[in-house]
Structures are given as C-alpha cells and as structure tokens.
Amino acid sequence: MKIKKILVIHGPNLKLLGTREPQVYGKTTLVQINRSLKGYAKKRKVRLVIAQSNHEGEIVDLICKSKGVFQGLLINPAAYTHTSVAIRDAIAAAQVPSVEVHLSNIYTREEFRHKSLISPVVKGTVMGFGPKSYVLGLEALCNLLT
Ligand code: DQA
C-alpha cells in the first residue's frame, strides 16, 4: 500500500511560538511541535511535509498544489482563520481532507476571533489544548485516512 502523505501548514506568526505571548500560546516552540508531529507520523506510518508561511497567497498556493499529491491537510491558519476567504476557497477547491487546529480556544478569546472562515470547509477542528491540539488533529486526520 502506498504511504499516505500529509501536508502540515502553520500560518502567520507561528514561527515565533515559544516567545510569542507565552501566557496564551505556551512556551513550546514550533520546532518542538514539529518534532512531536513527526514522532506521531512515524507511529502511524504517514509521511509529513511541513511548511510555515506568513503570506496568505503562499498558503493558497501550497493548498492548491496539494490536490493529487497529499491525502490530508493539517492546518493552523492562525490569524487568517478569521479573515481569509482565499484560504477557505483553496481548501474547498483542493478537496483534500483537512483538519483545522488551534493552540488556544478561539471562543474564549476576543470577539473578533470567534468566527472561523475555515471551519465550514474542514472535516473537523481541534482547539484549546495547546501544542497537543496538533497531535490530536493529526491523530484525527490519520484515523480519517485509514
Ligand atoms: C491561533 C488563534 C488565532 O486567533 C491567532 O491569530 C493565532 C493562533 C491558535 O493557534 O490559537 O495566530 O490560530
């Protein structure tokens, strides 16, 4: 059986994790999150390609190119969650099963974060568990694919 490939996209400012608002996002760095994702991927025998971008268009390009190449998408769209029709449309167009993740629970935060434009086009969303949200999201995605 062909090994499943999953694209992981971290949106804007997530490269700063570890030092960025630690009271909200914790002290775990993106490198550490990626390490735990890779560890879990190994257990589930899936291959990950991981990208971080601060640029909406670049994220749209990555998603559009994922069709036919990746069997799943794990995405934390970060601030674009609340603003990007372009990323939402790209996920809808690519038709790659997708899971949205957030470190924080966006519904317990400022009102402008209460709306996700992404949630309606993904299979599901995991939020509020800090860095664990990512591994839980990847687990959910792997379960969907196998
Ligand atoms: C975030 C929540 C967003 O509102 C915020 O803009 C982020 C991170 C999270 O993971 O909790 O950058 O997506």
State the distance from the centre of ligand 1 to the C-alpha of 41, rounded, in angstroms.
Answer: 23
Residue 141, pLDDT score? 98
Residue 1, pLDDT score? 77
Q: Which of 10, 80, 102, 134 is catalytic?
A: 102
Quick check: CB of 119 below 6 Å from ligand 1?
no
Which ligand 1 atom is the nearest neighbour of the CA of 12?
12
The C-alpha atoms of residue 118 and residue 97 are separated, in whole angstroms, by 13
Residue 146, pLDDT score? 87
Q: Which neighbouring-strand residues pair with 48?
A: 6
Catalytic (active site) residue 10:
no
- Global pTM exceeds 0.95: yes
Residue 9, pLDDT score? 98
Domain ranges for the chain? 4-145
Tell how far CA 45 is from the center of its chain. Answer: 19
Using an 8 Å Cβ cutoff, are 33 and 74 in contact? no
Per-position pLDDT tens, the chain of length 146: 789 999 999 999 999 999 999 999 999 999 999 999 999 999 999 999 999 999 999 999 999 999 999 999 999 999 999 999 999 999 999 999 999 999 999 999 999 999 999 999 999 999 999 999 999 999 999 999 98
> What residue owns the CA closest to ligand 1's atom 9?
102
Could you tell me if residue 50 is left (phi over 0), alpha (psi between -120 and 50 degrees) or otherwise beta?
beta
Tell how far CA 142 is from the center of its chain. Answer: 14
Evaluate whether the domain defined by 4-145 bears CATH number 2.40.110.10.
Answer: no
Catalytic (active site) residue 55:
no
